[in-house]
Amino acid sequence: MTQEKTNVELNPISTVNEPVIEIKELYKSFGTNEVLKGVNLTVKKGENLVILGKSGSGKSITIKCIVGLMGIDKGEIKVFGSDITKMDNSELNKIRVRIGFLFQNAALYDSMSVRENLGFTLKRHAKDLTAEEVENQIKEILESVGLSEAIDKMPSELSGGMRKRIGLARTLILKPEIILYDEPTTGLDTITSREISELVLEIQKKYKTSSIIITHDMACAKHTSDRLMILKDGIIHAEGTYDELEKSDDEWVRSFFI
Amino acid sequence: MSNTLIAKKESIISYLKETFNNVGTVTLFALRFFKEVIKPPYEMKEFIKQCYVIGYKSLPLVTITGFIMGLVLTLQSRPTLAKFGAESWLPSMVALSLIREIAPVITALICAGKVSSGIGAELGSMKVTEQIDAMEVSAINPYKYLVVTRILATTLMIPLLVIYADGIGVIGGYIGINIHSDVNFHRYLAQVLESITFLDIFPATIKTFFFGFFIGMIGCYKGFNAANGTESVGKAANSAVVTASLTIFIIDMLAVQITDLFF
């Protein structure tokens, strides 16, 4: 796979506790609206970092900057040790195949079936795979998210939870080392939210991924996080484990856990 | 200077800045096409699919429009030509009018309405639902996959649809003539072919490539740059039709001037 080739070209050595994402003094504004005012964060290999914050605090913008979907005003974003803000598009694409991104609404390609949604990405990055191998990988990934029966369905035929699972399957098909989740449980009922949270943990264990999870769902945060960060006024206001932050002296921080 | 004058000056300056900024963005978007179209990988499957959607699926609409164009043109022109005793010139006049001007412009306008708005709405909806971003984070070039294929397909299909509309229009003209008189089809066709020269067909066909390019480019630009929110999908589609239609008239006017100079 292309992915394997790129792993060799870019800094491949990432041992446990070594940061896979490092953000230093990240600034991002839209016109006069300064959203990020010096965000600093680190994600270690194999770690699930949950970012909390009020709506509009810049959580989603932070992860979009990590994959280069948005340019930054100032700062440094190192992924696997390479600063992505100084990369051209082809270098950035080599990093992107190692990062999975689950969008808030899954962002499935409406005109394609589930099989085509998964195959579309895979065929472009693993050109040496035969049609049979592609089909097998699609089936295997669908099985890992528990939706083998949905292979021929169109996105319009899927429920919200199923869309999220297929979105996750599409993300996993390139076997990423980092997964960025943008509100994975938003708009889902309590049971489905719990199932998605469990799936996030399963993926972390099975594929040894590192993740950033943006969420407002405290149950999901508790279930999936190794560490939490809270964004306020464009900076990281608080950081710690779920238990530490729940017992924080800061009343504003505690208000998230009520 | 009074405050009102200063405010007016500032609003004019900001309007001009925005206009120049927009022109710059559209130009860069269009120029990117020429850079991306030659670079592999080539999205042949998507290109063929778009040719089918844009070309084949527009055939019923172009057939009806082309037929009515020929029929109405004949029926409307007949009384005037009859006044001058030039009724026998009707087949030549209909064919020349259709091939040089009416079929290219009307077909392009129909396609601006159907194709450009369709592309604008489709890409706009993909933008709003983050499908374009999803391609980008998967290291797939969305411009190449979505824009290049659609612009290429419109550039190739619009001329073919115009040629088809020319043929259907000529048939419509034949039926129009036969409402009031009895003309043999072979004689009618011979007269049509006799009156058409290479210089009638060549410039008219060349301009249809430009029509096709701009129909695709404007639809893609409007969709690709749609703002967030579902409302912007409708706006992108609407704006694509209006801009593409206006652009067709501007290209047509320029094409006539250039044709006059060289042919």
Instruction: State mean pLDDT over A127-155.
Output: 91
A17 three-state secondary structure: coil
> Do the Cβ atoms of A110 and B130 come within 8 Å?
no
Virtual torsion, Cα A216, A219, A225, A230, nearest 10 deg: 30
Nearest to A105 among B130, B139, B140 (CB): B130
Whether residue B236 has pLDDT greater than 60: yes
Q: Where are the domains of chain A?
A: 2-244
Whether residue A99 has pLDDT greater than 90: yes
Interface mutation target, options A2, A102, A112, A121, chain B, most CBs of B under 10 Å? A121
- The enclosing H or E element of A225 equals none
Number of H helices, E strands in chain B: 12, 0
Name the CATH superfamily, with its identifier, for domain A2-244. P-loop containing nucleotide triphosphate hydrolases (3.40.50.300)
Interface mutation target, options A69, A98, A104, A175, chain B, most CBs of B under 10 Å? A69
Q: Strand pairing of A227-232 and A235-240? A: antiparallel
What average pLDDT does chain A have? 89
- Contacts of B25-32 spanning 24+ positions with Cβ under 8 A: B25/B225, B26/B221, B29/B217, B29/B220, B29/B221, B29/B224, B29/B225, B30/B217, B30/B221, B32/B143, B32/B147
Crossing angle, helix B149-180 and helix B103-111, to 10 degrees? Answer: 130
> Do the Cβ atoms of A103 and B134 come within 8 Å?
yes
Name residue A210's beta-bridge partners: A178
> Do the Cβ atoms of B136 and A69 come within 8 Å?
yes
Token code pair at residue B156: 């190739």
pLDDT tens for residues B14-55? 889 888 888 898 899 999 999 999 988 889 999 999 999 999
Residues in chain A within 8 Å Cβ distance of B32 = none
Put simply, whether A120 touches B (Cβ < 8 Å) is yes
Instruction: State mean pLDDT over A176-184.
Output: 94
Nearest to B130 among A96, A99, A103 (CB): A103
Residues in chain B within 8 Å Cβ distance of A170 = 134, 138
The Cα of A170 is separated from the nearest Cα of chain B by a number of Å equal to 9
Whether residue A169 has pLDDT greater than 50: yes
Over the range A13-36, which residues count as b (16 or more CB within 10 Å of their CB) and which as e? ebeeeebbbbbeebebeeeeeebb
- Confidence at residue A16, expressed as pLDDT on a 0 to 100 scale: 56
Put simply, whether B138 touches A (Cβ < 8 Å) is yes
pLDDT tens for residues A6-25? 443 444 444 557 899 999 99
> Do the Cβ atoms of A109 and B133 come within 8 Å?
no
Percent helix / strand / coil, chain A, rounded to 5 = 40, 25, 35
Q: Strand pairing of A227-232 and A19-30? A: unpaired
- Confidence at residue A5, expressed as pLDDT on a 0 to 100 scale: 39
Residues in chain A within 8 Å Cβ distance of B138 = 96-97, 121, 124-125, 170, 174
Whether residue A187 has pLDDT greater than 90: no
Instruction: State mean pLDDT over A234-253.
Output: 91
Nearest to B139 among A93, A105, A120 (CB): A93
pTM of the predicted model, to two decimals?
Answer: 0.87
Cα distances (angstroms) measured from residue A204 to each of B2, B177, B206: 66, 76, 58
Instruction: State mean pLDDT over B59-88.
Output: 92
Whether residue B98 has pLDDT greater than 90: yes
Nearest to B133 among A69, A120, A124 (CB): A69
Instruction: State mean pLDDT over A66-81.
Output: 94
Number of C-beta neighbours around residue B2 at 10 A: 7
A/B interface, count of CB pairs below 8 Å: 49
Name residue A100's beta-bridge partners: A179
Instruction: State mean pLDDT over A30-37.
Output: 91
Put simply, whether B140 touches A (Cβ < 8 Å) is yes
> Do the Cβ atoms of A110 and B125 come within 8 Å?
yes
Put simply, whether A103 touches B (Cβ < 8 Å) is yes
ipTM: 0.87
C-alpha span between A209 and A232 (Å, rounded): 27
Q: pLDDT above 70 covers what percent of chain A? A: 93
- Confidence at residue A11, expressed as pLDDT on a 0 to 100 scale: 47
Residues in chain B within 8 Å Cβ distance of A108 = 131, 134
- Confidence at residue A8, expressed as pLDDT on a 0 to 100 scale: 36
What residue in B sits closest to A107 (Cα-Cα)?
Answer: B131
Please choose, from the candidates A183, A189, A175, the residue with its C-alpha nearest in 3D space to the C-alpha of residue A106.
Answer: A183
